[in-house]
Structure 1
Amino acid sequence: MKAEVVFASLYIGYMLNIFAKRCVTFALPDIIKSEGFSKDDLGMILSGQMLAYAIGKFVAGLLIDSVSPALVLSLGYICSGVTVLLFASVPKSMWLYALLWILNGFATSPAWPSSAVIMKKWFSPEQFGTAWSLLSTSINMAGTLGPLLTAFLATYSGWRSSLLLPGSLLLGFGFLTLIFMKNAPEGSSHEHLDKGKPSENSKTKEASDTMSKRDLFWLPGYRGICFTYLIISTVQFGTMQWGPVYLVQDLGHSIIVGNSFISSLEIGGICGSVIAGYSSDHFLTKWKSRKLASRFSRQYVIGLFALGLAIFLNLLKTCVTSSSSMIWINIIGFGIGMTLYGPISVLGLAAMECAPEKMAGTAHAVVCLFSNFGQTISGYPLSLLLTWISWQSACMIQMIFVIQVAVYLLVNTTYSFKQASSSPKSD
């Protein structure tokens, strides 16, 4: 199996996984109309899924350090496909729907950490950032194509039929992944995961590496990555959830303008992910000979993108009015999406590269926990803040935190580069 085939499989699989995770959200208008559920009922179903997803993602990150990530990935696909098909088939029952969607949250959660660990073993450090950022665009593809397919199927054959497509595709793809997916290239030091026994290299590495999970937070740069992910996730979901509300309710723009703002975020996210991944690989290659600097090359790129994000947030706050054109609003939305998804596409791999290889899954799980906490802050806590102060003030607070992140990362990485330059270079 070649690295290109592995990448294509992970891309398609994760796109289907996101489609299956969000298919009920895409079909919400038709579900409300057909089943008569209230928004509170459906909110409970979706909240249960998100809570289960956050818990499952953390547990999966810990699990794949000791269990085959390819096995965890394929079983997650299969279980997720089953829950979607059951959701589309069972009789109307709010509690039954809630239970199935909680199970779906658990089933979809292992896909990203498992894909991350597999990618790390198939691609060299100089290729990892670009490959990872390209893989992250599968989220944007699912967010773009999923609503269109769901709307088409729901219109002509009902919401239940619209769920059969992602459920069936993911279930079938899960069995293919179970049969063909490999954790690592043959002959590599990671091959023992497929064969069920440790290799000599891994034994040596584990014997020499006695770091415990408690020591993870004390690794150079790791705490900065965690808190950066928290702030970026808060801004990401806060902008996606409340940005259209601000444009429509506060500034009086149409719903079309609000929705086009979200679309521009997604398109900008695709570009930002690719640029951030390629740039981080470029800096990693440039500073490869410097002893400590290569570890911080990802963080340097994140700092630059955070600086750009602060600029576009300021444009949204000061330069968008009730008379602003949709083109101008979409340009700002594109810039925010590019500078938001750029760091997000690199933060996960930056966390894994801070930790020893045997703790890559744990490092990814912990940093994602901070991300999930940021998503939580962007919901009810941020809505309370918006009721107490204006949108402009809330946007200013977010911008201040983003600037602090940018300054911290850029100063920290610059200092590390200088320290590495003053020490003897090593190849």
Structure 2
Amino acid sequence: PKEFVRARFLQFACILVGYSCYYLTRNSLTFAAPVMVATPGLGLDMTSIGVVTSIFPVAYGMSKFISGVVSTKVSARVMLGGGLLVTALVNLAFGCSSSLLAFSVLWAMNGIMQGFGAPSCAKILTWWFATKERGTYWGMWNIAHNVGGFTAPILAGTLARNYGWRWGLWGPGLIGLVVSLFLIAFVRETPKAAGFPPVEQAEDKKKKEEEAKTKAEAEAAKEKEGGKEKEELSMLENLTQNVLSNPRIWGLALCYFCVYVVRQGITSWSVFYLLDAKGVADAAVAAVRVAGLELGGLCGSLVAGKLSDWAIKTWPDAGATGMRLRVVMLYMVGILAALFAFWAVPGEIGWAQPAIVFMIGFFLYGPQMLIGLCGAEIVGPKSVGASEGFLGWIAYLGAANAGVPLALVVKSYGWDAFFAVLAAACALAMVLLSPLVNARSYVQRLEDKARLAAGA
């Protein structure tokens, strides 16, 4: 129905714009920081800024895990809009502060509130979009990372340079404030909350009429046997029984760890690599050469989502989650090839480095998006937030290991060892995924049970 299409478009627009604003308010300090260091009255240097920014990933990783668990009991509308509201207020308060202690406390608060965004968006995507199309829309939502990443230097950086560092925080904060109120007013967590039937029934109704009937019968039998108790699991029980006890989730989490080692390793150290090993003249030139990473990531996410949906439609009887993970493994091979090119191509070929970095971003962001999607599809809808929170926490442990540990690798053994570690992470990710290439989604497992119940 047209009303449903409009309602779903509104929900998608909410999570796309909303999560872009999360990224905007997350990255505002990065582009206001140089102006802060150059402001004599603050008395800050690069070490001081490092203290403030190093607090963020620790707070964010833990928050993403905890908020994912809490999201099973809290409305996605409240978490998504409320989280953005607080992080916007933190940006405004940061711009009004002047001490290192206040900066550190406020940025830790920002990290905590930032963790509310992704689990909420994952829940909305899972409820509003059917399995056969979810990869495409998840990939489209994933470009919010890139939209926010593009907007932050343009908005925060320009405001900070032209009007002072405080406006580098106030500008993103004011935008986040307005968008958060919009989210609170218009987000609806499920189609049912907006007056529509569940999407898996609304989509392709004729084709699945009989399966829906047998599924309903199986669900009714299940409820008699204690299904109601299962629906009323506490947050901790939901986490332990539906997420932490699932070996597939652990396989995805460890793979995510490896992907984030590579992602953070490239984003943190590629400029230094070009300066140190490829003879690039200065940091500005090196920054231009790696600027295509986000653009490549945007394209790679969209293609990965479309490709995984195509694979599921082409082989409908195969495990849907497994088909997406095969695309992830294909992308991991692409990352290995792009990393080899980044290491091997001479720095004198100036045009080649931006093209290679674009391809690294293309192949890197596809797995980042699809692993999160697979984590949502493997568990039931009520456990999506917990699953995404757990995966996000493990991912940021990987990101943390791409900081000081990789710096020590480069310092002790050189850049060849750096690329060897990244290649090993890619290879390990593929090994971890190989047992999951036939994994069936939660919806498919329900349908399998319904068929068995109907035939019994």
TM-score, normalised by the number of residues in structure 2? 0.84
Superposed counterparts of 1:22-421, under 5 Å: 22-34=27-39, 35-90=42-97, 92-185=98-191, 186-188=195-197, 204=223, 206-207=228-229, 213-215=239-241, 216-219=243-246, 221-254=248-281, 255-290=283-318, 293-317=319-343, 319-323=344-348, 325-410=349-434, 412-413=436-437
Using the alignment, how far apart are the partners of 2:163 and 2:421 within structure 1?
A: 46
Contact 2:125 2:138 in 1 (8 A): yes
Using the alignment, how far apart are the partners of 2:421 and 2:117 within structure 1?
A: 33
Larger mean CA deviation between 38-47 and 216-225 belongs to 216-225
1:81-103: per-residue Cα shift (whole Å, max 9, x none)? 1111111123x111011111111
1:375-412: per-residue Cα shift (whole Å, max 9, x none)? 10000111111111111122023213312323553564
Gaps of 5+ in 1: 191-200
Contact 1:77 1:171 in 2 (8 A): yes
Shift of the alpha carbon at 1:208?
A: 5.7
Shift of the alpha carbon at 1:139?
A: 1.1
SS in 2 for 1:183: coil
Shift of the alpha carbon at 1:108?
A: 1.7
Contact 1:119 1:128 in 2 (8 A): yes
1:8 partnered with 2:13: yes
Shift of the alpha carbon at 1:207?
A: 4.1
SS in 1 for 2:351: helix
CA 1:415–1:369 in structure 2 vs 1: closer, same or farther (change >3 Å)? closer
Shift of the alpha carbon at 1:221?
A: 2.9
Partner of 1:195: none
Aligned pairs, number: 408
Using the alignment, how far apart are the partners of 2:384 and 2:238 within structure 1?
A: 12
Using the alignment, how far apart are the partners of 1:164 and 1:120 within structure 2?
A: 34
Percent identity between matched residues is 25
1:139-165: per-residue Cα shift (whole Å, max 9, x none)? 111211210222221222111122221
SS in 2 for 1:326: coil
SS in 2 for 1:167: helix
Using the alignment, how far apart are the partners of 2:402 and 2:21 within structure 1?
A: 26
**Cα RMSD (Å):** 2.6
1:349-370: per-residue Cα shift (whole Å, max 9, x none)? 1111111222111111111111
Shift of the alpha carbon at 1:176?
A: 1.6
Contact 1:17 1:108 in 2 (8 A): yes
Contact 2:254 2:432 in 1 (8 A): no
